[in-house]
Amino acid sequence: MDAWLTHALLEGHPYVFRSCGGDPNGFLKEFRSAWSLLPTEVREKILQFWASRPYPPIIELSDVWSPKAAVGQVRHTGQELKFRAECFLLFRTKAAQWIIAHELAHLYQKALGRPPGGESEEKNEAEANEFARSWGFDDSEANLLVFYASMHDVPWSEACSVIYGILPDGRQPRRKSKPQP
């Protein structure tokens, strides 16, 4: 297993994220870019929320949490944000930033005082999606990846190879040859 590493999250703020595996520098680039695209009042509300908590937030990039199918998750009333390392090795910028923005939208819900899980899981997810879209993020690529992976019950690496047409190491996927008559 990879060692846990700690990285500065946002310039000028004391928050860090920890990683175990994946590409922490690539994730950090995507996180900071997504963060910078949030409206100023949203960033300020999240920072106020974090500052009001009894301990700093835990932001994690790893593959050592459940459920395995989840790409990102906000837990413990907004104190933990977890992102699946495997996915951030595979996803292109549009999908990566959507996932980050979606999870930041859940955090924003908590900062606004919404109860964990909202009125229902469906409404909670719909509102997080609406926030992320209103901030200018595009969910089309992420939705396609999630749909393919869940419908075919395949790992993220396979969904990405089919949707992107490449393997994680940049090679073209091998096509199954048709049986000869």
Q: What is the pLDDT of residues 97-123, one digit of tens each?
A: 999 999 999 999 999 998 766 778 889
Q: CATH number for 5-136: choose from 2.30.30, 3.30.2010, 2.60.40, 1.20.144.
A: 3.30.2010
SS3 at position 13: coil
| pLDDT > 60? residue 181 | no
Q: Where are the domains of the chain?
A: 5-136
**Long-range contact list for 63-68, CB < 8 A, 24+ apart?**
63/20, 63/21, 63/22, 64/1, 64/20
User: What average pLDDT does this structure show over 130-154?
Assistant: 89
- Asked if residues 109 and 128 have their Cβ atoms less than 8 Å apart, the reply is yes
Which DSSP letter does residue 75 get?
A: E
Q: What is the pLDDT of residues 17-66, one digit of tens each?
A: 999 988 999 999 999 999 999 999 999 999 999 999 988 999 999 988 77
